[in-house]
């Protein structure tokens, strides 16, 4: 049986100390491979402002009662995977267990053989992450992408003006 390195679990609970997620090419795989930054799950992970909503999600939980909550990235990421793949809760967890890109997407630091959560957790995630929160996230993503696009356009305009002035 393969032991799960403790670092893999360091990002799964809200109560754990936050560590920066490595870029995809530094995500640890047991077979010494690297994740491609061009993978659809890596690209989507970069689009979603996970940290902007972590605190709001954490407020839904009591520090005194129950087990520590899963991080927002794991909760939302798992629901996104389920919807995108069109799988059942159990199959979603199995897909995550087998796929290092999906494990990266939900915020794990390295590949692990064991499932990072039970399929029953998806029921709780769906109760906590409602349509209103999804709309906020979507608006934030769109705003960020528009801002990024505006910056690129402005950069091109400045560059063209500089070229014109040189002539």
Taking only the tens place, the pLDDT of each residue in 84-130 is 999 999 999 999 999 999 999 999 998 899 999 999 999 999 998 98
What DSSP string describes 94-107?
HHHHH-HHHHHHTT
Q: How far apart are CA 112 and CA 3, in angstroms?
A: 9
DSSP state of 112: -
pLDDT digits (tens, 9 = 90+) for 142-160: 999 998 888 888 888 887 7
Q: How far apart are CA 19 and CA 83, in angstroms?
A: 28
* pLDDT value at residue 13: 55
Count of CA atoms in the C-beta half-sphere (13 A) of 34: 8
pTM above 0.75, yes or no: no
Give φ, ψ of 13 to 5 degrees.
Answer: -120, 140
Closest CA to 103 of 121, 71, 77, 70: 77
Contacts of 85 (CB under 8 A, 6+ apart): 91, 92, 95
What tokens appear for 26 in the block? 């530094």
């Amino acid at each position: 049986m393969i032991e799960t390195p403790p670092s893999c679990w360091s990002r799964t609970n809200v109560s754990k100390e936050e560590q920066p997620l490595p870029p995809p090419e530094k995500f640890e795989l047991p077979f010494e491979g690297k994740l491609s930054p061009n993978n659809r799950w890596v690209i989507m992970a970069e689009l979603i402002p996970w940290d902007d909503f972590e605190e709001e999600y954490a407020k839904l939980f009591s520090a005194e009662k129950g087990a520590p909550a899963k991080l927002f990235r794991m909760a939302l990421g798992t629901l996104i995977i389920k919807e995108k793949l069109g799988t059942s809760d159990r199959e979603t967890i199995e897909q995550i267990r087998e796929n290092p890109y999906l494990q990266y997407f939900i915020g794990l630091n390295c590949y692990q053989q064991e499932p990072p959560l039970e399929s029953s957790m998806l029921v709780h995630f769906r109760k906590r992450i409602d349509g209103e929160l999804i709309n906020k996230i979507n608006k934030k993503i769109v705003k960020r992408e528009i801002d990024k696009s505006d910056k690129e356009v402005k950069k091109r305009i400045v560059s063209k003006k500089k070229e014109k002035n040189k002539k």
